[in-house]
């Protein structure tokens, strides 16, 4: 009965969900004729061998899934892997894996759509990145006899309280899960408190710590820094959101008063906002150059707009200090992954809202490996201090490297549970 009521409600709200999903935006790849895949009209795979199915809803989850996919292929090169995403930007990220995987769009959470997908692909396991749980999907997949594991799972206190309010619905979800591989003990405790058998809940750590920094990434970061100006003070505002860009630009304007040659690398989180953020920079009075323009960066350039996908590590590597976006907007976003700059040896600053990465941020902060600003007004002074204090920067870099190294190993732990 609960699933029937849920499906009825989903039928009512789904037109609005699809309107948002299919709405054309600048920089957002079109779905084209592949929109039918959301309704279970899934093209057959290239192989008849049963694939491992990895679901990564969008870009962030796709990035987190990449090292797991590579590890699985390394262990068994002949094992086909199917990756689904809901968004076209997620699909674009997965396409970078080339022939390692096949991509299909995730069917919407109607049983008929999920059945169509399963009949076309016949997966032997479903691996869900983080916590993308849908009642009809889990029910239908389990009915087909396919084990379901949640990887790199996280459950914030806010999400836990939300699920607690609809406990009967969560019960529909939890009973179908074979393994829940959590990032931290707090996450595991919350899943258990919601009724999942503790024998199925494991603490594997966060695969985000198992970051692979290749020589190519390091070299491309150095090359870009040379182009930007080796003698300048360069900071990056990574993965910013609407409403946050204005705060970052105001901070940069203030910073220029004390460090006139400072350069801001501004990287919006969503590619459809690249052009609007460029216009915002110009309207705010900054001399701004887009990365895609291939223009020479002069000493007069004040903002360098990172309007490309898949180059975040290069852009961070070209910086002296990284401010991680999604952290100045109250409870709207909850921050982004601060481990990438930490692993690259770049001092990190975050705003006060980082609930999606609370354990990681607190761990780094408590070990003097990261700074937290209470408000956007504090950002310029923190940046200025770091630019002028090499000893402080070196200490943060050293502490961050130690924390990252101590917490690596989640990838191996996770892959071991996948094999069970």
Going along 219-317, which residue ranges are E strands?
234-240, 263-268, 288-290, 303-305
Domain assignment present for 133: yes
Tell me: the pLDDT tens digits for 209-265? 888 889 999 999 999 999 999 999 999 999 999 999 999 999 999 999 999 999 999
Tell me: the pLDDT tens digits for 280-307? 999 999 999 999 998 989 999 999 999 9
Number of domains in the chain: 2
For a pLDDT cut of 70, what percent of the chain falls above it? 99
Are 162 and 232 within one domain?
A: no
Helix pair 59-75, 410-418: axis angle to 10 deg: 70
- How much is the pLDDT for 239? 96
CATH number for the domain that contains residue 329: 3.40.50.2000
Domain assignment present for 5: no
Are 155 and 193 within one domain?
A: yes
Domain assignment present for 6: no
Are 262 and 381 within one domain?
A: yes
Q: What is the DSSP letter of 78?
A: T
Are 272 and 351 within one domain?
A: yes
Domain assignment present for 24: no
Are 98 and 223 within one domain?
A: no
Three-state DSSP at 343 gives helix
Q: Judge whether 92 counts as a catalytic residue.
A: no
* pLDDT beyond 90 at 4: no
Domain assignment present for 298: yes
Helix pair 135-143, 2-22: axis angle to 10 deg: 110
Tell me: the pLDDT tens digits for 21-66? 888 876 678 898 999 999 999 999 998 899 999 999 988 889 889 9
For residue 118 the two structure tokens come to: 């399963």
Are 55 and 175 within one domain?
A: yes
Domain assignment present for 110: yes
For residue 114 the two structure tokens come to: 């999920």
- How much is the pLDDT for 417? 86
Are 74 and 194 within one domain?
A: yes
Domain that holds residue 59: 29-211+409-418
Are 229 and 257 within one domain?
A: yes
Are 183 and 282 within one domain?
A: no
- In this structure, are residues 149 and 127 in contact, taking their beta carbons and an 8 Å threshold? yes
- How much is the pLDDT for 168? 87
Q: What CA–CA distance (Å, rounded) separates 218 from 59?
A: 22
Three-state DSSP at 349 gives strand
Domain assignment present for 283: yes
Are 231 and 165 within one domain?
A: no
- How much is the pLDDT for 420? 60
Are 274 and 387 within one domain?
A: yes
Are 282 and 329 within one domain?
A: yes
Domain assignment present for 191: yes
**Alpha helix locations (H) across 207-244?**
215-228
CATH number for the domain that contains residue 151: 3.40.50.11720
Q: How far is CA 416 from the centre of its chain?
A: 23
Query: Which band of pLDDT confidence, cut at 50, 70 and 90, is reported for residue 169?
Result: confident
- How much is the pLDDT for 26? 67
- Catalytic residue chosen out of the listed positions 37, 61, 130, 311: 61
């Amino acid at each position: 009965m609960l699933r029937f009521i849920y499906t009825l409600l989903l039928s009512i709200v789904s037109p609005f969900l699809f309107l948002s999903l299919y709405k054309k935006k600048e920089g957002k790849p079109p779905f084209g004729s592949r929109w039918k895949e959301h309704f279970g009209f899934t093209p057959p795979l290239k192989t008849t061998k049963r694939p491992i199915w990895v679901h990564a809803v969008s870009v962030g989850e796709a990035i987190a899934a990449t090292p797991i996919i590579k590890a699985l292929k390394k262990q068994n090169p002949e094992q086909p892997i199917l990756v689904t995403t809901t968004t076209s930007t997620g699909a674009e990220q997965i396409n970078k894996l080339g022939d390692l995987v096949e991509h299909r769009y995730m069917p919407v959470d109607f049983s008929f759509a999920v059945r169509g997908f399963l009949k076309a692909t016949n997966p032997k396991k479903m691996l869900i990145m983080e916590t993308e749980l849908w009642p009809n999907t889990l029910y239908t997949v389990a009915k087909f006899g396919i084990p379901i594991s949640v990887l790199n799972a996280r459950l914030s206190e806010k999400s836990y309280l939300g699920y607690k309010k609809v406990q009967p619905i969560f019960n529909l979800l939890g009973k179908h899960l074979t393994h829940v591989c959590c990032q931290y003990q707090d996450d595991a405790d919350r899943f258990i408190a919601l009724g999942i058998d503790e024998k199925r809940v494991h603490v594997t750590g966060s695969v985000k710590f198992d970051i692979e920094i290749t020589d190519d990434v390091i070299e491309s970061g150095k090359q870009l820094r040379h182009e930007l100006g080796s003698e300048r003070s360069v900071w990056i505002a990574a993965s910013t959101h609407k409403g946050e860009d204005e705060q970052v630009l105001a901070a940069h304007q203030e910073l220029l008063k004390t460090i006139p040659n400072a350069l801001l690398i501004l990287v919006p989180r969503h590619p459809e906002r690249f052009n609007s953020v460029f216009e915002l920079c110009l309207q705010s009075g900054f001399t701004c150059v887009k990365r895609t323009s291939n223009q020479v960066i002069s000493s007069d350039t004040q903002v360098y707009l990172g309007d490309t996908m898949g180059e975040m590590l290069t852009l961070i590597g070209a910086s002296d200090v990284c401010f991680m976006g999604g952290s100045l907007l109250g409870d709207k976003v909850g921050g982004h992954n601060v481990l990438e700059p930490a692993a690259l040896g770049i001092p990190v600053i975050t705003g006060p809202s980082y609930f999606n990465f609370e354990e990681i941020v607190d761990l780094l902060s408590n070990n003097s490996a990261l700074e937290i600003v209470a408000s956007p007004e504090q950002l310029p002074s923190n940046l200025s201090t770091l630019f002028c204090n090499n000893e402080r920067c070196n200490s943060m870099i050293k502490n961050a490297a130690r924390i990252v190294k101590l917490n690596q190993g989640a990838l191996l732990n996770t892959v071991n549970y996948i094999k069970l």
